Chain A
Amino acid sequence: MAPRLCGLCDNARAILKRPKTGQQICKDCFFYVFETEVHNTITQAGLFHPGDRVAIGASGGKDSTVLAYVMKTLNDRYNYGLELYLLSIDEGITGYRDDSLETVKRNQQQYDMPLKILSYDELYGWTMDRIVSQIGKKNNCTFCGVFRRQALDRGASMLHVDHIVTGHNADDIAETVLMNIMRGDIARLGRCTLICTQGEDTIKRSKPFKYAYEKEIVMYAYFKKLDYFSTECIYSPDAYRGHARVFLKDLEASRPSAIIDIIHSGEAFELKDEVKVTQKAQQTCKRCGYMSSNELCKACTLLEGLERGMANAGVTDRGRKKLEAEGPAPENLRTIPMFQLPNPNNGPSTTISLEASA
């Protein structure tokens, strides 16, 4: 078979079939269109302003590694004027996160960005290893997910950044749309397709890879020879998401546009007013000051359950009632430090403890 020429430059040999468009393109055109599409996503959504301090949520995995590389490239190429940081959360999972953090530390050197690592141990007094040894492998993803979300915001606050970007890609978002439909989680369904989420008192979060296919992210990492870490979490991955993922990959195999179509479906759902009123208003957690839809935020509830030896308290209603029946929380209970929204204005004057560059 004669080599096919690139459908864009008509000059070099095609190396990739784009899942989004079916186009066959060469390596240089692929780099160019991939980066330019992310740039267009960023500018069309007006994600950044010159001088913004932005943290990249970095796990050492493919998505965040490619995100850090592309953010640096675009910031230089188009003069976004951003101050970029790497922010990593150490869940305390021996043999998994400790290895992936080594990758992030290399990224810190390679991309010349300051790195902050915040650990569950330091914030909550519990590592995932210790949580799993107490509660087993059944609901540990609930703890990890709730703790990570809050840890990212707190890490961002320590860095005095007011914006976190994450590596969520089009496949991830389509998966989440499917999961929220299957669970009837109307509130999350509306939110999960937003490129940028920001409440009144939350740190802005956005997903510059919202329209980037996983296949292209992996191909980009492969052809750029980026250094990333790829091992499954040792505490059994989120099984429900796993099913949604396999289902989505099967759909994509028979029709590649399925991913973008599902995101579009998620965006197109409209909520009736009578559905909206049942949603709880946001408030701040009375114990730690983090945003919450109840008196206590989810992380405080989970932590109290762990500390009082009733880990189910934060997971099921029954566990919650049992905990309440035991009486109020003891005074010396370990709690999460008070949350403060970052103030970018006093950023540079405050000392931030960053990872030392080796």
Chain B
Amino acid sequence: MSLTIKIEFGGGLELLFSNQKSHKIEVPSKIPARERSESERAVDLQYLIFWLRDNLLKERVELFIENGTVRPGILVLVNDTDWELEGEGEYQLKDGDEIVFISTLHGG
């Protein structure tokens, strides 16, 4: 089983992802257990961030991820809502979700 997720990059972040703003991706709906003591768990935003790094990111990972999450200064929206209202990395993805990442670190 997999989930279809729409990804949007903005504010210059798209430059790290083949200069493409819009992506449609499929991620597994469950995160496989890494150890025997662990059970499978539903896929969350935290997992998605690492999935993007491993599957979609083309360059300069340090501009996207820092200390296990997105770099400070990157805004994340879940279906057009600030991820800070949705539990941030713990938000459980649903089929058809739209996740937006916007960098605020560019000049203006």
User: Which residues of A does B touch, CB under 8 Å?
Assistant: 1, 4, 13-17, 24, 59, 61-65, 167, 169, 214-215, 217-219, 222-223, 228, 230-233, 237, 245-246, 249-250, 252-253
Contact = CB atoms under 8 A, between A and B. Distances in A.
B10 interface: yes
A15 B106 contact: no
Interface string B74-108: 01010011101111000000000000101111111
B91 to A, nearest CB: 9
B75 A249 contact: no
A6 to B, nearest CB: 11
Given A215-B104, A230-B12, A15 B72 contact: no
Given A17-B84, A17-B85, A231-B15, A215 B75 contact: yes
Nearest to B107: A61
B75 A218 contact: yes
Given A63-B108, A217-B108, 17 more contacts: A1-B86, A16-B82, A17-B84, A17-B85, A59-B107, A59-B108, A62-B106, A214-B104, A215-B75, A215-B104, A218-B75, A230-B10, A230-B12, A231-B15, A232-B12, A232-B107, A250-B72
Contacts of B80: 15, 223
Contacts, number: 74
Contacts of B85: 4, 14-17, 24
Q: Contact residue range for chain B?
A: 20 to 34
Contacts of B103: 230
B28 interface: no
B65 to A, nearest CB: 14
A237 B63 CA distance: 14
A222 B10 contact: yes
A246 B15 CA distance: 19
A63 B11 CA distance: 12
A61 B82 contact: no
B73 interface: yes
A252 B72 contact: yes
Nearest to A241: B107
B94 to A, nearest CB: 12
A209 to B, nearest CB: 10
A53 to B, nearest CB: 24
Residue of B12, B77, B82, B84 most packed against chain A (CB within 10 A): B82
A230 B100 CA distance: 16
Contacts of A24: 85
Interface in B37-93: 71-73, 75, 77, 80-82, 84-87
Nearest to B87: A1
B67 to A, nearest CB: 9
Contacts of B15: 231
Contacts of B100: 222
Which 5 residue pairs of A and B lie closest in terms of their CB atoms, listed nearest first?
Answer: A61-B108, A63-B108, A249-B72, A230-B12, A17-B84
Contacts of B10: 222, 230
Contacts of A245: 73, 105
